Amino acid sequence: MTVQSGTAQTGVGQGGAGEADRALKARHRDIWGLGDYPAVVAEIIPELGAVLVEASGVKAGDRVLDVAAGTGNAAIPAALAGASVVASDLTPNLLATGQALAEQRGVTIDWQEADAEALPYADGEFDVVLSCVGVMFAPHHRASAGELLRVCRPGGKIGLLNWAPEGFIGQMFAAMKPYLPPSPPGAQPAPLWGSEEHVRGLLGEQVIDVVARRQTVTVDTFANPDAFRDFFKANYGPTVAAYRGLAGDLDRVAALDRDLAQLAARHDQGGDANRIVMQWEYLLCTARKHNGTPR
């Protein structure tokens, strides 16, 4: 196999730009290693990967790549469908957890540490390229989109499921933004991947048969807004990082506590005295890569 590195690596190269990019990726790796992201997936969004796999038409014999796979929320259902699956992610401990989960489900997956913006795979190597609330967190969107397209074979499928900017998770990141340090130059907000216009712009004329639809997942795990906040404060890497950055500033910690609990309260649809019930919105997008030269 001839392996080619990505051709759209924003900020990667010699000198200061390369060093800055490596530092940014190291920070991302550290953030997703904080807390207990496997618990977030298992307790709140376990079904989303299967939704993406079904929409993408994964079938037995397909060669599938799950980009920013985390613990395999999409990779495992793809393998259960009979596909040959590679699951790649920047954070090694998530891959280790995913491997254990796959073994429990009785499927074999190739788990590999890899940067979504510089995938170590050959051009056109995969029949289906997936990402379930994963690639959206790579900081340089055009670079990662270019890699999704590059490693997908002509005529192959790309399937993406990403949180919508107007939805609950998009609003959660907006609520946390005042408490976080400024984003590095060139880094784009993750929830943009939940905008159909943004995704169509990233994939451009290299794809056809684009199907994009907004859907929601019901989240009824938490007894009350404070329980939601405390769970994310302890387990969700970006939220854990936000609180760590406020260490010692009790007023700002209290303010973030309030803002996150109020967000959950606003999204509670009511009707259940024992728990809050929320609908978290996402964009489900599938597309087919051109067989030949784009129009």
Per domain, the residue ranges of the chain are 16-220+281-289
Distance between CA atoms of 192 and 169, rounded to whole angstroms?
Answer: 12
**pLDDT (mean) for 166-190:** 93
Residue 188, pLDDT score? 94
Question: pLDDT tens-digit profile of 237-287?
Answer: 999 999 999 988 999 999 999 999 999 999 999 878 899 999 999 999 999
Tell me the pTM. 0.91
Q: How far is CA 78 from CA 56, 128, 159, 267, in A?
A: 10, 10, 12, 32
Structural contact between residues 49 and 24, judged by C-beta atoms closer than 8 angstroms: no
Fold of 16-220+281-289: Rossmann fold (3.40.50)
Name residue 115's beta-bridge partners.
Answer: 118
Residue 11, pLDDT score? 35
Higher pLDDT, 13 or 60: 60
Residue 293, pLDDT score? 52
Residue 5, pLDDT score? 34
Residue 22, pLDDT score? 85
Residue 164 pLDDT more than 50?
A: yes
207-219, strands of its sheet edge to edge: 110-113, 84-89, 63-66, 126-132, 152-163, 278-289, 207-219
